[in-house]
A and B are shown apart, each in its own frame.
Chain A
Amino acid sequence: MTRFGYDERSAALLVFPVLAVLLVVAAFPIIYSFWVSLHDIVLTRPLRRPFVGFDNYLRIFDDARFWTAVARTTVYTLVCVAVTTFLAVLVALLLNEVFPGQRLLSALLLVPWATPSVVNGLMWKWIYDPTYGLLNGLLVQVGLLERYRVWLGDPDITLLLIANAAIWKQMPLAALLMIVTMKAIPEDLYRAARVDGANIWQRFVHVTLPALRPGLMLVLVYETMISIRHFDLFLIMTQGGPGDASFTLSWLIYVETFRSLRFGTGAAMSYVLAITTFALSWAVIRFLGKRI
């Protein structure tokens, strides 16, 4: 039996402040926000905040805006995760080879990742600008466009354009994780495959890809968690518009909480988003984890 002696007591004493801080800044807000989600709290009506149980959750499931936001978030997340992962694998394959300038290219790859999110959003907003944007200028000059086009004002492509800005920023980190995983693949496996007559595609499918699973799992979980909760780009580039074309779940939560000041339903939506994120991550880990 472990004796709770002087060392243990000292350790407990030293750990206590950190634990207390964590309880105050992490555990308390989580529990409190759940408590808030069970009340009908509208900040502009401070004198009434009735307890409504799970009514807020039922109300949001009954709200057409919520399901529109879920659909948009799903599309956005699928595009972001799929394209980011695909490009990350391609870039990792390239940078895993030895060629002149490989180190410089590896360093340059990190520039988008190191760019602050706000700067990234503003940069892409300017690129897409309908009057002086770089994209319009480029496409008109090469003859692919006859006249300047309104990019972010086109509801059919707004979400994809925002996803493009997100992928530009997120892909480098994913590629870096893939490169690290690739470096860990024993060279012997490739030599053995070559001896067996495997061509480059077969070596990729049968050696590289199976060995990439740990990295893939990490990238898929991380990118899913990031994309599903993306907010900054929507705030800077479209504010949920045009119309409701980029009204994703995180934007809806922002509008509900900080514009309509409905903290009760806002907190309930946040819980739905958090639980969904956890569930998706858990599913990816379960699915890919079995195969590692």
Chain B
Amino acid sequence: MTSPAKSFSRRTAAAGAASAAMMLGAGPAALAQPAGAVNFIGWSAAVDQVRAQISAFQAATGIAVNYENFPWAQYRTALVTRLVANAPIDCSWISDAWLPEFAEAGWLADISDVSALTRYNAETTAYCTQSMVYKAKQYGLAYYGDHMSFMVNTDMLARAGITTPPTTWEEVVEQSLRMKQQGVAEFPLLLSLAADTWLIEFVSALNFSFGGRFVDDAGNAVMADANRGAVRAARFLREAIHTHRILSPGAVETGEINGLRAFGSGAHAFAIVPTYRIRALNDPAQSSAAGKIRLALMPKGGPSGTHETCGWIRFWGMTPGAKADRARRERTLRFIEFFGGRDTAGNYSMQKLLLTDMGLPSCAVPLAQDPEVVQFWQRWAGGGAVVAEQAGLARKKDVISPWFGEWVETSNQAWQNVCLGRAEPEAAMRAAGAKWTELKRAFR
């Protein structure tokens, strides 16, 4: 006689083993997305706008989209691990800082041979297009392009009797000291110098405004050269914190978001902020200083100073997997064009939506003349002239390289040590330069 228990055990075990085998065997197929869909990964920004545009794309083309997003802080790691694991990704948002390492790793497909996309270069600012090019190949269409702006709180300036915003960093110090003496602000200058992903953009902007470079045109580290500006910029930071006390020592733990909140609270007169934040800063629902924040050109620093700033772009990139498969390629290219170029009605609808809803500046030249865009800058920044002038003076980060992700850890520590007074500017920049040289040599 067969006992029920025995029968149950054997059948259950057999069924369980079969199910497990099926699941393991079916694996990716069982977990695959619906056939004919575009698999898109982005970071958790403009989520509602992206979803709205996806709906429009699906309605216009009938192509489904699987949209996944991750917080910015974890995005690069999450994307890399998926790419390494050959996850079925067709399109993703890419930062210009990752382009060389992603291209070298074979995770991005170039679109130089896709005339349907490259034709948009004629309508894109040159700086944006250049930021998507690596080794003479283009790797996508722009999502947005922005730069670091110098912003002033006009109300605080007026209270201190200052009528003209500073044009040099020396004037920033002078006006800040005046504000301190008059009790207008304890720390008039605000810089977000926490060791996060934004730090390189902040210090690059400062470095460029001092006429400095981290690396020369040949890619060799010049950051420790006292005449190239990076050391001068580092010295300025140290003096602003420890000598003049116009910048809070808390800057080293102030991230970009906290810096935005602090500036919006009306406690600081000067700040370096990504331009797209101007909308939030002048929105009464989000900022106590609303209506008082205006843009000024980045102050010049030192004898070789310029009004240059650091610019960056994020773009829509395609994976080689998508490019290799004809059907996937077609879908993905249509998706990228609809979002990074013109939609099926011939409008830059996504780029316009991102600007008017989020304040994200567009790389599309024709949009600058759009009445709604003109009105946007007028409403939130008092006009678009300074934005346009500063955008023209924006430089791509010169440290973008296949080893950027590793080097930036050392660089961040070097800048923080300068701010903390734990390292001399020259020594800190030498340490960052040595790491650059070591990584560059190791990459060959």
| Residues in B59-92 with C-beta less than 8 Å from chain A | 77, 80-81, 84
Given contacts A239-B195, A243-B413, whether A44 and B252 have CB atoms under 8 Å apart is no
Q: A243 CA to B427 CA in the complex, in Å?
A: 14
Q: Is the CB of A241 within 8 A of B105?
A: no
Query: Is A17 interfacial (CB-CB < 8 Å)?
Result: yes
Minimum CB–CB distance from B78 to chain A (whole Å) comes to 10
Per-residue contact bits, chain B 390-422, to A (CB 8 Å; 1 contact, 0 not): 000000000000100110010001001101101
Q: By DSSP majority rule, is chain B's interface helix, strand, loop, or mixed?
A: helix
Known: A44-B104, A240-B195, A260-B406. A17 touches B252 (CB 8 A): no
Measured in the bound complex, the distance between the Cα atoms of B23 and A168 in whole Å is: 45
Residues A261 and B80 in contact, CB atoms below 8 Å apart: yes
Least CB separation from B186: chain A residue: A147
Residues of A within 8 A of B251 (CB): 153
A45 to B444, CA, bound (A): 12
Counting chain A residues whose Cβ lies within 8 A of the other chain, the interface size class is: 20 to 34
**In the complex the two chains form, what is the Cα distance from A155 to B413 in whole Å?**
12
Query: Is A244 on the interface with B (CB-CB < 8 A)?
Result: yes
| CB <8 Å contact, B84 and A46 | yes
- Chain A's closest residue to B197 (CB) is A259
Tell whether, in the assembled complex, residue B409 and residue A260 are in contact, meaning their CB atoms are under 8 Å apart. yes
Given contacts A46-B106, A261-B80, contact A255 B413 (CB under 8 A): no
Known contacts A10-B6, A46-B105; is-contact A131 B416 (Cβ 8 Å): no
Chain A 11-31, CB-CB to B under 8 Å as 1, else 0, gives 001101100000000000000
The answer on a CB contact under 8 Å between B9 and A242 is no
B46 at the interface (CB under 8 A from A): no
A255 touches B84 (CB 8 A): no
Assembled-state Cα–Cα distance A125/B422 (Å): 23
> Chain B, interface size: which category?
35 or more
Contact call B409/A155, Cβ cutoff below 8 A: no
From the candidates B101, B102, B104, B253, name the one contacting A150 in the complex (CB within 8 A). B253
Q: Is A112 an interface residue (CB 8 A)?
A: no
Kindly list chain B residues whose C-beta atoms are within 8 Å of the C-beta of A260.
405-406, 409
> How distant is the Cα of A153 from the Cα of B422 in the complex, in angstroms?
12
Check B250 for interface membership: any CB of A closer than 8 A.
yes
* Bound Cα distance from A44 to B402, whole angstroms: 8
Question: A150 to B417, Cβ gap below 8 A?
Answer: no
A238 on interface, CB distance cutoff 8 Å: yes
Are B248 and A130 in contact, CB atoms less than 8 angstroms apart? yes
> Which of B105, B106, B422 meets A155, CB within 8 Å?
B422
What is the 8 Å Cβ interface bit string for chain B, positions 98-132, against chain A (1 contact, 0 not)? Answer: 00011011100000000000000000000000000
Proximity string of chain B (16-43) to chain A, C-beta cutoff 8 Å, 1 when within and 0 when not = 1100100000000000000000000000
Q: Which residues of B contact A244 (CB under 8 A)?
A: 413, 417
Residue of A nearest to B415 (CB): A243
* Closest Cβ–Cβ distance, residue B355 to chain A (whole Å): 31
Answer whether A131 and B16 are a contact pair too, CB < 8 Å, given A153-B252, A239-B196, A258-B77.
no
- B262 within 8 Å of A by Cβ? yes
Evaluate contact between B250 and A131: CB separation under 8 angstroms: yes
User: Are A44 and B101 CB-contacts (below 8 A) given A153-B250, A238-B253, A243-B420?
Assistant: yes
Report chain A residues within 8 Å CB of B420: 153, 155, 242-243, 245
- Does residue B45 face the partner (Cβ distance < 8 Å to A)? no
Contacts of A153 in B (CB 8 A): 249-253, 420
A14 to B8, CA, bound (A): 11
B257 lies within 8 A of chain A by Cβ? no
The distance in angstroms between the C-alpha atoms of A102 and B373, with both chains bound, is 66
User: Does B327 interact with chain A (Cβ within 8 Å)?
Assistant: no
* CA distance in complex: A17, B10 (Å): 13
With a CB–CB cut-off of 8 A, which chain A residues contact B249?
150, 153-154
Q: Out of B262, B405, B417, which one reaches A243, CB within 8 Å?
A: B417
Instruction: Specify which of A155, A240, A241 lies most central, judged by the most chain B CB atoms within 10 Å of its CB.
Output: A241
Jot down 20 A-B pairs with beta carbons below 8 A, ordered by A: A13-B9, A13-B10, A14-B9, A14-B13, A43-B80, A43-B81, A45-B104, A46-B105, A47-B105, A131-B250, A150-B248, A153-B249, A153-B420, A239-B194, A241-B195, A241-B252, A243-B413, A243-B416, A260-B409, A261-B80
Interface residues of chain A, those whose CB is within 8 Å of chain B, are 10, 13-14, 16-17, 43-47, 130-131, 150, 152-155, 238-245, 255, 258-262
**15 other A-B residue contacts (CB within 8 Å) besides A241-B252, A241-B416:** A17-B16, A43-B81, A44-B101, A46-B105, A150-B250, A238-B253, A241-B195, A241-B253, A242-B420, A243-B416, A243-B422, A243-B423, A259-B405, A260-B405, A261-B406
3 A-B pairs with the lowest CB-CB distances in the bound complex, closest first:
A130-B250, A150-B250, A242-B252
